[in-house]
Amino acid sequence: MLRRLFDRQLLRISPAERLPAAGEKDEAEPSSLCLDGMVRSFIEDGVGTGAEKAGHGGRYCNCFHGGDNSDDEEDEEAAAAAASDVAETIKVCTQTYSLLGAIESARTDFLIIYNPSHAAGVVQGLVHCATLRERNLLADVAGHVERHRAAGARRRELLRLVASSLRAVGHDAAVCVSRWDKSASHPAGEHAYIDVLLPAASDRGARERVLVDVDFRSAFEVARPTKAYRSLLQRLPPAFVGKEDRLRLLVAAAADAARASLKKRGLHLPPWRKLEYMRAKWLSPYEREAPPAEEAAAAAGEVDGEGTAAA
């Protein structure tokens, strides 16, 4: 239909109008000849609706396509290809961001292990508790440790007494025992510490697991320490209270400083002072000990008494 309309429009142009002016090209510009005439013809002939459908809503002249819908199919294919490209780009970006996070974590570990000055800076920035709740918990732990040690408690018994004291003031605390198998770099072993499950910070949040080690500093003592390592060791907290992410970086920095100190003294690095072994103490699979039966019974009795009083 558009081709017939185009031919009709050309017939309406006089021979004088068809002749090119001086200095102009012999070939006329079809779009400049037919656009205005086509619009008038559409209105006069009442075929605007059909032409609009064939010509992409009447937005441009379709003179050279003879009513062919190949452009529509090509546009649809191009749109589908573009949508596929966008989906693939989003997928690649997501994978890239995840990879960048892993690279940044590995970069931090690399700097800690191979740059002693960076290790000292990391220790300085990680010795303090990250949140107010951790600081309050540290204050409770320090008081209980001092009181039970003064009474003669040591090692595993000290941990059980401190955990019991924390439960007595409302904390969900328990002794955890981690165990790990022998590997090419370090022997098998086990380690006991305390964990406290703090309430969620918000209604939709999850409970926070905080690790408590009452002999944290002593775990990094080495023979014949250098002056720099003695200074770093004094920066470590006697008792650690914090989450796993902060503990992981702090252990890496302290273990690297211990390695550098032993190397400077010409001493061998024992397997139980290697980074992998030190991390295994707190980051290996663990078992959480249940409270003693009498303590659980007492807690159940308190709950029953409160329920009866409320009734």
Q: Is the torsion defined by CA of 204, 210, 147, 151 positive or negative? A: positive
CB atoms within 10 A of CB 123: 22
Same domain, 151 and 61: no
Is 146 in the same domain as 285?
yes
Pair (64, 147) in one structural domain: no
Domain boundary among 32, 53, 68: 68
Let me know if residue 306 belongs to a domain: no
Q: pLDDT-based confidence at 99, cuts 50/70/90?
A: low
Q: Residue 250: give the domain boundaries.
A: 116-299
Q: Is residue 231 part of a domain?
A: yes
CB-count exposure of residue 167 (10 Å: 0-12, 13-18, 19+) = middle
Q: Are residues 155 and 18 in the same domain?
A: no
Does some domain include residue 309? no
Report field, pTM of the whole predicted structure over 0.85? no
Judge contact between 244 and 210, C-beta under 8 A. Answer: no
Among 22-26, 90-94, 178-182, top mean pLDDT goes to 178-182
82 inside domain: no
Residue 106 belongs to some domain of the structure = no
Considering the domain architecture, whether residues 138 and 246 belong to the same structural domain is answered as yes
Residues 209 and 247 sit within 8 Å (Cβ to Cβ)? no
Query: Quick one: 168 and 272 in the same domain?
Result: yes
**Band of pLDDT at residue 176, cut at 50, 70 and 90:** very high
Are 120 and 261 in a shared domain? yes
Statement: residue 22 has pLDDT above 60: no
Are 21 and 132 members of one domain?
no
The rounded distance, in Å, linking the Cα atoms of 247 and 240 is: 8
Q: Is 167 in the same domain as 295?
A: yes
The verdict on residue 99 lying in a domain is: no
Residue 39 lies in a domain: yes
- Residues 145 and 47 grouped into a single domain: no
Write out pLDDT tens, residues 33-85. 455 555 556 555 554 444 444 444 444 455 444 455 555 566 677 777 766 76
Least confident window among 96-110, 174-188, 190-204, 297-311: 96-110
* Same domain, yes or no: 195 and 58: no
Residue 198: what are its φ and ψ, rounded to 5°?
-80, 150
Q: Are 284 and 174 in contact (CB under 8 A)?
A: no
255-310 pLDDT per residue, tens: 999 999 999 999 999 999 999 999 999 999 999 998 887 676 666 665 555 555 55
Q: Give domain status of residue 110, yes or no.
A: no
Considering the domain architecture, whether residues 60 and 156 belong to the same structural domain is answered as: no
For residues 192 and 289, is the Cβ–Cβ distance under 8 A?
A: no
Single out the residue of 204, 213, 206 nearest to residue 246, CA to CA: 213
Contact between 171 and 196 under an 8 Å Cβ cutoff? The reply is yes
Integer Rg of the chain from CA: 39
Distance between CA 18 and CA 21 in Å, rounded?
9
Q: How many domains does the chain divide into? A: 2
Determine the straight-line distance between the first and last CA of the chain, rounded to whole angstroms. Answer: 89
